[in-house]
């Protein structure tokens, strides 16, 4: 019966979805598209070949079909019941990186690390992006930051398409950046972003700086495990600066540690023994395990400190029926 319903759903979707030039896959599992390797299927995943293909698809897609723009899934938990939406996933054709003076024009699918490296080759400082996982589009949405610098500090402008396939553009004022967030609407697909370098230096010095950042990250974070980066936002309202005078009292990792949650396990999920603000899939976790452990940690931290941790990892989709 379940299989029959699944086939009927697929036929209905095939009758209503547009026929784009790009790749459209129905009932696509998202587990292998996220860093945590968990989650059910999306109604469909669309990978446009270019901007016109994307705009036409959005314009023709029935309004009752929700969309969900997705990068490389580095900051995402998809629940086990899947996602009732058409996932828009940009790839080749949306990852170009070009320099123009002190400005860096990027496709939204460009990896943060690649942007940092390409900028450094031109003597432009965007080194804070080097250790931030994911794509520039995702970094824009959450105003990603590291070592005291944020996307908002370098942001010039962005453009893309709204749910109806109409071209839209944004500047810093309209995006309303704040700590780990922006006012970018969920149903807008950003395709292009322009940043301004935070400084200039010799390429060799910039690469050395990034190498030191990577070494420090590998020393302090579980980079070889299945994680989605930092799990919770810092109640302090800012990211780690990496400086000797950095304050840790209101950092999420410190609060989690004080609440006795370093290494805490639930099912196949674990809070990293190496860095307690990293949620790990030990290899057999479900999305339910991961989210439940996160909620348990939030409760323990509140009971200990009176502070409520806010999720930094995005959680989307439906739980699976037991």
312 as an active site residue: the answer is: yes
The active-site residue out of 180, 226, 233, 298 is 180
The active-site residue out of 51, 226, 240, 312 is 312
The CA distance from 164 to 195, in Å, is: 26
Beta-ladder partners of 316: 78
The active-site residue out of 230, 240, 254, 272 is 230
Residue 28 phi, psi dihedral angles, 5° rounding: -90, 120
219 as an active site residue: the answer is: no
Show which residues are catalytic: 180, 230, 312
């Amino acid at each position: 019966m379940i299989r029959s319903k699944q086939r009927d759903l697929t036929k209905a979707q095939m009758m209503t979805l547009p026929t784009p030039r790009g790749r459209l896959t129905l009932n696509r599992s998202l587990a292998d598209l996220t860093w945590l390797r968990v989650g059910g299927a999306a109604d469909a995943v669309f990978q446009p070949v270019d901007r016109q293909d994307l705009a036409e698809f959005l314009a023709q897609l029935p309004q009752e079909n929700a969309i969900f723009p997705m990068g490389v899934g580095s900051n995402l938990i998809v629940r086990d019941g899947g996602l009732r939406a058409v996932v828009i996933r940009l790839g080749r054709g949306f990852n170009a990186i070009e320099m123009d003076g002190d400005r860096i024009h990027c496709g939204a699918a460009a990896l943060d690390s690649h942007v940092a490296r390409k900028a450094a080759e031109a003597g432009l400082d965007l080194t804070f992006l080097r250790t931030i996982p994911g794509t520039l589009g995702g970094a824009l949405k959450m105003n990603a930051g590291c070592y005291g610098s944020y996307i908002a500090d370098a942001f010039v402008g962005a453009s893309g398409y709204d749910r109806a396939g109409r071209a839209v553009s944004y500047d810093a004022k309209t995006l309303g950046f704040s700590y780990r967030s922006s006012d970018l609407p969920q149903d807008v697909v950003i395709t292009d972003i322009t940043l301004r370098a935070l400084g200039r230096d010799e390429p060799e010095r910039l690469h050395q700086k990034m190498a030191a950042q990577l070494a420090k990250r590998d020393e302090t974070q579980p980079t070889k495990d299945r994680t989605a980066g930092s799990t919770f936002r810092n109640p302090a309202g800012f990211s780690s600066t990496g400086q000797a005078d950095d304050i840790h009292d209101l950092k999420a990792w410190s609060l989690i540690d004080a609440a006795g949650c370093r290494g805490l396990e639930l099912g196949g999920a674990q809070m990293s023994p190496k860095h307690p603000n990293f949620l790990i899939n030990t290899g057999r976790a479900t999305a339910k395990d991961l989210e439940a452990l996160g909620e348990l940690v939030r409760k323990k931290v509140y009971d200990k400190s009176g502070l409520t941790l806010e999720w930094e990892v995005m959680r989307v989709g439906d739980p699976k029926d037991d």
